[in-house]
Structure 1
Amino acid sequence: MSGQMVLTHVGIVLILLFVLWCVIFRSQDVKFAFLNLFRHKRRSFSTIAAIMLGGISIFLYGGFIDYSFWILKEQTIRTNIGHVQIYNQNYFETSNKNKSLINDYRSLKKAILNEPELARSISTLSGQLEFTGVISQYESETSGYFSALGVEPLPALKLGSFDKLITGSDLSRVKINEITLGSGLAKTLNAHYGDWLDVLVVNTQGGQGALSMQLRGVFESGIKDYDDVAMKIPLITAQRIMGTDSVSKILILLKEEDTAAFSDRLRQFIAKHHLPLIVKDWKEVSLFYQQVEGLLTGIYFFIKLIVSLIVIFMISNSMTMNVIERTREITTLRAIGLKPLHVTRLFLLEGIFVGIIGAAGSLAVGYAVASVINLYGIAMPPSPGQSLGYTAFIKTDSIALNWITLVLPILTAAGASVLPALRASRLNISDAFKFS
């Protein structure tokens, strides 16, 4: 938990304890402070409306950000990355990926699935073989560079579920010597369903491998750079053309989002069997997601800061005006024996009540507006580096989002009431009676 969240939790706990103490031991003060909100209805309404406007903005934008994170995360995980990956320990230390393969993949897969603590969390486990080369079409006299993935056809349905099939079929229905291409690469080759293509590679032994394969599908992931070079091929065929029975990495898709706990258990399994492997989670290998998350989180923090400052100024101004207009009332209370701390408590309670009403209103109206928006969604242009737009929605099931929408108005209202409350308690009785 970050320091910011700790301070937020401590602040709201102190405020709630203060209100609870007042309800139990100073119930008249609570009643008096609440009724004072209705003495200047227009001012109270404008202050609460300002708080609600800020709270609704935070709720809607936060829900939009949460949905954006969720869809980007799902797209990342299901575009041949998975929740967890296993690599050879030298994979990230060399540019020649053919020298850092995972040997004896079949035995390792069987051992992992036979481990009860690991198997119960796994939805899909699949090996992939990465390789590059040149692909050409004889009839149209075209050729291009490709970056291929040898994948197991059935697991590819889940691990590549965000790939949009444009023509033909996916890998689950292809034969050994058939392939699918990214839309950009297919366009470069002027290749269509049923065309024969020639693939030339440098295999793991440093020799040449060549094979003619038939195009059975064209897909689009929405990531232009990927679609321009992408080729998917059955793992058995990829291993044959590359002259190996190894894989470049093993991808694991989990049943539930417990990536950190599962990764720890998998590392323990690897250490127990003294395997030369390392474990990475999806976020570690997705630089684009990390960059987008950092950018949007920074923008969201800036918006919360602006809203907090607006609320503080609005409430401070409103409470200061209350102090000025109620100078005679405050000094009369002081004259009959009311202590400064008592006066401070009354004004603090007023500010807190304004914040509570504003917070509850923010959440209620925020849900209503989000429900209307979610009926149609928000048409979004393609993200940087992508070719397809998407429809965004407001995600409202986040506990953190609901919490901050409730807590932020209360904290800012309480904080903004401190100075006016202290000013009211320090009024000079004899001077204040001269106020007109």
Structure 2
Amino acid sequence: MNLSRRSFLRSSAAVSAASIAGSFASRAWAASDTVAIASLHDLSGPFDIYGAPSHLCMKIAVEEINAAGGLLGKKIDLKIYDAQSDINRYPQYAQKALLNDRCVMLQGAMTGAAREATRPIMRRYKVPFFYGSLYEGGLCEKNSFCVNTGGNQQVVPLLEWSFQNIGKKLYYIASDYNAPRNFGIWNHVVAKREGGEVLAEDYYPLDVTDFTAAIAKIQAAKPDIVHSCLVGGPAMAFYRQWAAAGMLKKIPIISIVFGAGNEHEVLAPEESDGVVVAYNYFQELDTPKNQEFLAKLDASVGKARPYINGDAFGGYSGVMLWAEAVKRAGSFEREAVTAAFESGIRWEGPAGVMTTDGPTHNTTQDVHIITVKNRVWSLIQKKGQIPPDTYGGRCNVFTNPNQTDFLMP
């Protein structure tokens, strides 16, 4: 086949652009004694209650790895980006991390909206995106790695326990954006399975602080259980108003997000005692590895640090699982690290054993149903080694390597 000079140049330019995008990071670390990874979190603004503790956990993981000699003979250089609770900054800073700082992985973008703004940038530049936040499940993408709980690992055990131990009639109140609405789907799935009923579901903007009408609607519906998926600082007003209305001891509250913003430390015990949640990790876990982890936190930043909850813990587990994949791969290259993650890595950390799952790019892990009293969490029930949901076999990066859309239960 004859190829004109113009056609050849066009083809070469296209190939070169793709190659350059994929090789920026590798060219940077190959000739250096350090390798850069990125923390992209909200360190200021209304969502810093989630972002700052997760970033702290990333910092502790990097310090631990570097203290042990680094990875493949290189120390890890943690590049820090504050998205300032502004969704527009996520793609901007992700691109800066990959092109300017040549990071070989990025973790953060904790909210659903932030995640969806960041994923396309990571795909374009062929750098692994580690997602450390709890989420609704259904992210099944070759370039993304989910190290926290998905819907079937968190909301399903919590709902099953609640329908079996509290009552069958559930009222759902949530913030109005994609993740709480997707979590709401699980209410109906599990209610049908457990013989329960979802009486109603109400969604409120993130800035709402007056829940008087909402509480009146719940009282009129007379549920056995209130399932709250209200997030952000303003949402704490609901719990204060619920307690002020004398409802805290009348209708139990369950939640898969309460505590992720350390609400239990902000609210008074009389405003929060008895709330039941489910997380893979909580700070009161009494295991030797967790005591070691907490000691490292205290030594690094002091005892005035924030409480480390299950959402924040993904900042630590994500870096550690990535590091295990790098060690198994013997490389920082995306394809080698991906293959190592997909091979099934077993890592025992502060939350117990976690094992990477190849087809879903999620993880198998323990989940704990816990309740709060006097700002301290205690264990109700442990659900051991829950695998990620395959969504009926639809979530499989081996058979669907180009899939990027979210899957629904």
With the shorter chain as reference, the TM-score category is: under 0.3
Where relative contact order (Cα < 8 A, 6+ residues apart) is larger, the structure is 1
Q: Output the TM-score relative to the length of structure 2.
A: 0.21
Structure with greater helix percent: 1
Larger Rg: 1
